[in-house]
Amino acid sequence: MSETSLSTAFYTILKRDLTLAYRTRAEIVNPLLFFIIVISLFPLAVSPDPKVLQQLAPGVIWVAALLATLLSLDSLFRSDFDDGALDQLLLSIHPTSVLVLAKVLAHWLVTGIPLLLLSPLLAVLLYLPSEATGTLFATLALGSPILSLIGAIGVALTIGLRRGGVLVSLLVLPLYIPVLIFAANAVSNAAAGVMVAGQLYFLGALLALSLTLAPLATAAALRISLR
């Protein structure tokens, strides 16, 4: 890696992580099945009334997406930590934050994109109005990368622990709350015919902030955890 350019190193790590994810497809399918099952069972647990489901749909879909993302976070650095590749990543001459960003991007491509594609279909199951489906798609497109970026910080801080999954949840859930509030509120407002530009701008600002700061924080957390 020391003789390659930064762009080549970024692409190599991205391709490697996508290949590993394809070989361990069960780890990808489990969060998606969780996402589908939670939303599918919700009408049975609450009420099949379309008006009730329509009102609760934005929060239910977003909470399910958030929890599905949490389920997949542990695999972000785990295999690299076990086989020593993470040490090589930190010893690279390239900025660790950029290489970490490649791994986060791979994680989002195999978890966030499927959630993004499934959400309109599950929104129909919860009787979400068609005019709010586009807003749901937009909020997930802006918000799901934030979940992966912030989650990477928590995983990096607990990578040396044997059972760090619960601790990761405690670390990142408070940081997820603003995304959850503004995203669900945007979908609810769209269903009610209210303008949602403010919420989408806020999510865009959070995404820009996460893209700027989260890779740096993740790289620093990895160095601390592997000392």
The pLDDT confidence band at residue 144, using thresholds 50, 70 and 90, is: very high
Total-model pTM: 0.89
- What is the model's pLDDT at position 2? 44
49: left (phi over 0), alpha (psi -120 to 50) or beta: beta
- Residues 77-133: pLDDT tens digits? 877 777 777 888 888 888 889 999 999 999 999 999 999 999 988 898 888 888 899
pLDDT attached to residue 165: 65
**Across all residues in the chain, what is the average pLDDT?**
87
Contact yes or no for 104/152 (Cβ under 8 A): yes
Q: Which pLDDT tens digit goes with each residue over 212-223?
A: 999 999 999 888
Is the model's pLDDT at 188 over the cut of 70? yes
Q: Which of 128, 117, 136, 110 is nearest to 203 (CA)?
A: 136
* Residues 88, 150: Cα–Cα separation, whole Å: 23
Instruction: Using a pLDDT cut of 90, give the percent of the chain over it.
Output: 41
Q: What pLDDT sits at residue 162?
A: 67
DSSP for 98-165, written as a single string: HHHHHHHHHHHHHHHHHHHHHHHHHHHHTT--HHHHHHHHHHHHHHHHHHHHHHHHHHHHTTTSTT-H
193: left (phi over 0), alpha (psi -120 to 50) or beta: left
pLDDT, residue 200, reads: 95
